[in-house]
Amino acid sequence: MEDRYRNVYYTPLTPLSFLKRSAHVYRKETAVVYNDKRYTFQQFYERVNRSANALHTIGIEKGDKVSFISPNIPPLLEAHFGVPLSGGVLVPINIRLNPGEMAYIIDNSDSKVLFVDTAFRDNIEQIKDKIPKIKEIITINDTTECEGLEYEEFLKMGSKKEVEIPVKDEYETITINYTSGTTGFPKGCMYHHRGAYLNSLAEIIEMSLNQYSSYLWTVPMFHCNGWCFTWAAPAAGAKSVCLRKIDPAKILELIESENITHMGGAPTVWIMLTNYAQKMGIKKFSHKIIITVAGAPPPPSLLRVLEKMGAEVRQVYGLTETYGPHTICEWHSSWNKLSFEERAKRKSWQGVPYINAEVRIVDEEMNDIPEDGKTRGEIVMRGNNVIKGYYKKPEKTEEAFRNGVFHSGDIAIVHENGYIEVMDREKDIIISGGENIASVEVEKTIYEHPDVLEVCVVPTPDEKWGEVPKAFIIAKSGTHLSEKDIISFCRERMAHFKCPKRVEFVKELPKTSTGKIQKYILREREFAGREKRVS
Amino acid sequence: MEDRYRNVYYTPLTPLSFLKRSAHVYRKETAVVYNDKRYTFQQFYERVNRSANALHTIGIEKGDKVSFISPNIPPLLEAHFGVPLSGGVLVPINIRLNPGEMAYIIDNSDSKVLFVDTAFRDNIEQIKDKIPKIKEIITINDTTECEGLEYEEFLKMGSKKEVEIPVKDEYETITINYTSGTTGFPKGCMYHHRGAYLNSLAEIIEMSLNQYSSYLWTVPMFHCNGWCFTWAAPAAGAKSVCLRKIDPAKILELIESENITHMGGAPTVWIMLTNYAQKMGIKKFSHKIIITVAGAPPPPSLLRVLEKMGAEVRQVYGLTETYGPHTICEWHSSWNKLSFEERAKRKSWQGVPYINAEVRIVDEEMNDIPEDGKTRGEIVMRGNNVIKGYYKKPEKTEEAFRNGVFHSGDIAIVHENGYIEVMDREKDIIISGGENIASVEVEKTIYEHPDVLEVCVVPTPDEKWGEVPKAFIIAKSGTHLSEKDIISFCRERMAHFKCPKRVEFVKELPKTSTGKIQKYILREREFAGREKRVS
């Protein structure tokens, strides 16, 4: 009998249903703000439908990939609904990557159409011959203009007729988000509609979003689809305030003019913002703001300032493979009585699973580690908030999904109240300003320099970025390498943020008896005197 | 590839996962309060696991039904987790039904075990021979004691060992909730784990529940599992404050002593409460309370008092077939500027679908009716918040699920902003104090009286109950029937709340040319001068 009435009691879970509903419920309320542009939910929905219809006219069919190179401006937000509504799969690309890296993702994802903000148009010119699968390039004229089919013209090609949600199976792919990974080759995390839907509901719950909320786009939409807020904010009926780049003056202005209630980002963003606010004599926001912090735990000094300014910090932890945030330091009202120091300590914990997540901290035999605040274990996840695999990389999926769980590679302890604290990032990953950098990738680039004998890249603490890459190099004898040489060499070959900020020339590197470099020794030396690596 | 890693990225959606998580996250915080009893989430979870293990010891296996006759006290809340955790299916029974009605449900649901609060133990004695499938009866000694296996003793039979969630398919039945229906025979609405999970998340979102919330149990848990709050409140980490019966003095006391933030119920409950508060000179709650109103729209006079007392009213509408609330009058911040009268008018609308619901208002050809505030249509639903069918009543399921939607039978108009307003309840249903009464069932009973020739039961407005049943009767000639005769006759055969409160003897009943009684004419006469029937 169940199957007979499936059409009545089953709807595939998809975030596309959220915008359809919000366009009905909040039709005349503001959905999107960007500079002098303001779209109501009805207008936003109309643009999304035009986008889906226009994608059909240029040949996008079910399952086709559509790449986007864009900062946090309306077209990318629209793409999160428009592309899947057309039946396509969205591939949002990190705008800080270099042209070669962008080419790899565009080609590896089999994208047929590419949308690119004109600020990045030159990058594409350089790689035109490396992306032969692209049939159409649409440019987004925001800060500058250029030739070719422009986004607003493209929208006009599509009718505003409501497109029927094309999802039949909730496990269909909705987006592919590339992570830098440890091998240096980006891996495409396949998000499905069900996961995106459930994670959006979880973000609404964990971040207390509702129709009175005003969400400022400080988190890049190309990072885990803006931690799923691309779908969650419109779902809640919240206003999305777009932001082309992180600019403290602009953020402070928008907080007041758009009555911002929610924003998110790495501690570095908030250090920058509060420093600027102090410089300008701004002591308090005019209203309460919920700030989601991820990437690294917020230092006590920052927490103190934010608290004084009227912000509530909610710390989260997750990975691209878990649709972004996956654990949260859920607060207890009974903790409000604690001293500031004790509260700050707890706020730095990554906490507990999201309401719909499953997390374990395990030893090498996959046993749960004790809740003793000492023993270290690996953070592993499973369930509806885990990707369905890496696109076209079955061996990487197999490796990450061994033992029936997703292996984060991150190391944590579990406190006596069950709350986790991340002690080490994935061994070989450097987290700089919220961006993941694979040290192996940096090493590989440096190894290409003819004068380098051996290299090892580890994170080193940095006041502004949290961590930056530092290279330990053994130069070939008879050569005259300088720090500047290495940095310039890297900058020509990689995104700048991935390049080492410091270089130390050494005579030897610590090694195991079998000759493997003991990276952790160098890492620990860099972080000597600190309680844990991430700071 | 998807199937290969299903064990990593798929978890069946089930509300059982919520308590498992909350017992971990909020372990030492208060989960349940009842008189002088207080259970932490850890204790609550331990009792639930004992319950599941004990059910195994008395022979409950996957899919077995377990009936509960209990007011809103901890055992029934525990049963919402314990029974499904054992693999069983919970059948919560309306304690206001008469023994015969209870027997029908116990037998029809194929229940093997029955839990009964001692206050209702006598009812069970009367029907012992009508419930042969029951193998074990467990009594809950709350206000009185009696012989037999007692609930606390029963719990001790089970170990506190954590039971693994036994759900393999999220469409497995979690509870069967009986609705009175129109035929007079209760229909068992089969709720599945997926629907219960999604509806719980929706309640958390729509009612702004979180770990700081304190939920007062004014809604019967046997009504749509307390509108899914039995799962939603523990999921959010909220405190559940149990309440054996609606008692204004007790409610006011608990609001202050337990810092109640949320409660729900029909307008009659709030009329009773505010009247009592005014009598006692209580003008304001010490803190904000969110009151969910359902069953009938709140009259402006009530809204005015509640607003003054510091309550925020959120009106919802739904049916047992939709896991309870399914639409909500989502508020817009821009509406706060409206006059009180205009706001009160909007508050009386049933509004828009829940964040995860699908609702349409259609004409007889299944076309959407215009948003003109005039045209009437039937409210139909589909999607994840609709039951999977009526237990062992395929023909009733077929009828309700025709055209690929669930037919509510309720009539609404759609305002120009897309918000719906319910104009008529299901033609034959009388809503009295939040309880559904099938007029057909009352008629059937009255027809059993030897002196009755013809009868028609319709709702009539009542200050206390909103509506009460009124019987129009044509007596057989030569008989001497009185109003009192009819009421006593009914009281011997039905739950008292279902019995007509008024009886009018008439010479004829309005009929169509084909001889069908035109019930709507009598109904409209009773509600003459009112803008709409539900008041």
Structure-token match 């932001």, residue found: A243
In-domain check, residue B233: no
Residues B434 and B412 in one domain: no
CB contact under 8 A, A383 and B27: no
Tell me which chain B residues have a C-beta less than 8 angstroms from the C-beta of A334.
29
In-domain check, residue B433: yes
Query: Across the strands, what pairs with B317?
Result: B327
- Tell me how far apart the alpha carbons of residues A71 and A94 are, in angstroms, rounded to a whole number: 9
- The domain containing residue B275 runs over which residues? 246-424
In-domain check, residue A149: yes
B26 lies within 8 A of chain A by CB: yes
What is the block-wise mean pLDDT of chain A (535 residues), using blocks of 10 residues? 81 98 98 97 98 98 98 98 98 92 96 97 93 97 88 97 97 93 75 98 98 97 96 98 96 98 90 90 96 82 90 94 97 94 89 97 96 93 96 95 94 95 73 81 84 88 91 90 94 92 92 65 84 46
A405 lies within 8 A of chain B by CB: yes
In-domain check, residue B98: yes
Q: Residue B424 has what pLDDT?
A: 60
Q: Residue A534 has what pLDDT?
A: 44
Tell me which chain A residues have a C-beta less than 8 angstroms from the C-beta of B333.
211-212
* ipTM of the complex model: 0.86
In-domain check, residue B345: yes
CB contact under 8 A, B9 and A205: no
> Which residue, A213, A245, A277, sits at the end of a domain?
A245
**Minimal Cα–Cα distance from A480 to chain B, Å?**
51
Residues B282 and B325 in one domain: yes
Residues B418 and B508 in one domain: no
On whether the pTM is more than 0.90, the answer is no
- Tell me how far apart the alpha carbons of residues A384 and A194 are, in angstroms, rounded to a whole number: 8
Read off the DSSP letter of residue A479: -
A 355-394 → B contacts, CB under 8 A = 355-356, 358, 382-384, 386-389, 394
Tell me which chain B residues have a C-beta less than 8 angstroms from the C-beta of A331.
211
Sequential pLDDT tens for chain B (535 residues)? 457 899 999 999 999 999 999 999 999 999 999 999 999 999 999 999 999 999 999 999 999 999 999 999 999 999 999 999 999 999 999 998 889 999 999 999 999 999 999 999 999 999 999 999 999 999 999 998 888 899 999 999 999 999 999 999 999 999 999 986 444 578 999 999 999 999 999 999 999 999 999 999 999 999 999 999 999 999 999 999 999 999 999 999 999 999 999 999 988 789 889 989 989 999 999 999 999 998 777 777 788 899 999 999 999 999 999 999 999 999 999 999 999 989 988 988 999 999 999 999 999 999 999 999 989 899 999 999 999 999 999 999 999 999 999 999 888 999 999 999 987 656 667 888 888 787 877 887 888 898 888 888 999 999 888 899 999 998 988 899 999 999 999 999 889 999 999 999 999 888 755 555 778 788 888 988 775 544 3
Q: Residue B512 has what pLDDT?
A: 59
- Tell me how far apart the alpha carbons of residues A294 and A347 are, in angstroms, rounded to a whole number: 12
Asked whether B195 and B387 are in contact (CB, 8 A), the reply is yes
Residues B312 and B449 in one domain: no
B 315-334 → A contacts, CB under 8 A = 330-334
Structure tokens at A160: 């505003």
Domain tally, chain B: 3
**Minimal Cα–Cα distance from B38 to chain A, Å?**
16
In-domain check, residue B202: no
Read off the DSSP letter of residue A495: -
**Minimal Cα–Cα distance from B327 to chain A, Å?**
11
**Minimal Cα–Cα distance from A137 to chain B, Å?**
31
* Closest in A24, A25, A387 to B9, CB measured: A387
B236 lies within 8 A of chain A by CB: yes
Q: Residue B1 has what pLDDT?
A: 43
Residues B375 and B497 in one domain: no
Nearest CA in chain B to A386: B9
In-domain check, residue A75: yes
* Closest in B382, B389, B406 to A1, CB measured: B389
Helices (H) and strands (E) in chain B, counts: 18, 25
Per residue, the 3-state secondary structure of B42-68, as one string, reads: HHHHHHHHHHHHHHHHCCCCCCCEEEE
**Minimal Cα–Cα distance from B183 to chain A, Å?**
22
Nearest CA in chain B to A24: B418
Cα angle B27-B32-B38, degrees, rounded to a multiple of 5: 85
**Minimal Cα–Cα distance from A134 to chain B, Å?**
26
Taking alpha carbons only, the member of B254, B256, B259, B224 closest to residue B242 is B254
Tell me which chain B residues have a C-beta less than 8 angstroms from the C-beta of A355.
18, 21, 201, 204, 235-236
Residues B419 and B438 in one domain: no
Taking alpha carbons only, the member of B77, B381, B51 closest to residue B220 is B77
Q: Which residues, at least 6 apart from B184, have a Cβ–Cβ distance to it below 8 Å?
A: B438, B440, B441, B444
Q: What are phi and psi of A262, to 5 degrees?
A: -140, 140
> Which residue, B382, B407, B424, sits at the end of a domain?
B424
CB contact under 8 A, A382 and B11: yes
Q: Residue B68 has what pLDDT?
A: 98
Residues B171 and B50 in one domain: yes
CATH number at B486 reads 3.30.300.30
Give the Å distances, CA to CA, from A158 to A58, A112, A151, A153, A161: 10, 18, 11, 9, 8
Nearest CA in chain B to A403: B8
A9 lies within 8 A of chain B by CB: yes
Give the Å distances, CA to CA, from A189 to A92, A176, A389, A390: 11, 5, 6, 5
Residues B372 and B273 in one domain: yes
Give the Å distances, CA to CA, from B304 to A278, A504, B300, B307, B344: 45, 73, 6, 5, 8
CB contact under 8 A, B29 and A334: yes
CATH number at A158 reads 3.40.50.12780
Taking alpha carbons only, the member of B359, B333, B355 closest to residue B346 is B333
Strand pairing report for A239-241 and A30-34: parallel
> Which residue, A220, A245, A270, sits at the end of a domain?
A245
Alpha helices for A280-382 (secondary structure H): 300-309, 340-347
* Closest in B24, B353, B384 to A9, CB measured: B384
* Closest in B7, B21, B383 to A11, CB measured: B383
Nearest CA in chain B to A23: B418
Q: Residue A260 has what pLDDT?
A: 98
In-domain check, residue A251: no
A168 lies within 8 A of chain B by CB: no
Tell me which chain B residues have a C-beta less than 8 angstroms from the C-beta of A25.
330, 352-353, 418
Per residue, the 3-state secondary structure of B290-351, as one string, reads: EEEECCCCCCHHHHHHHHHHCEEEEEEEEEHHHCEEEEECCCCHHHHHCCHHHHHHHHCCCE
Nearest CA in chain B to A330: B25
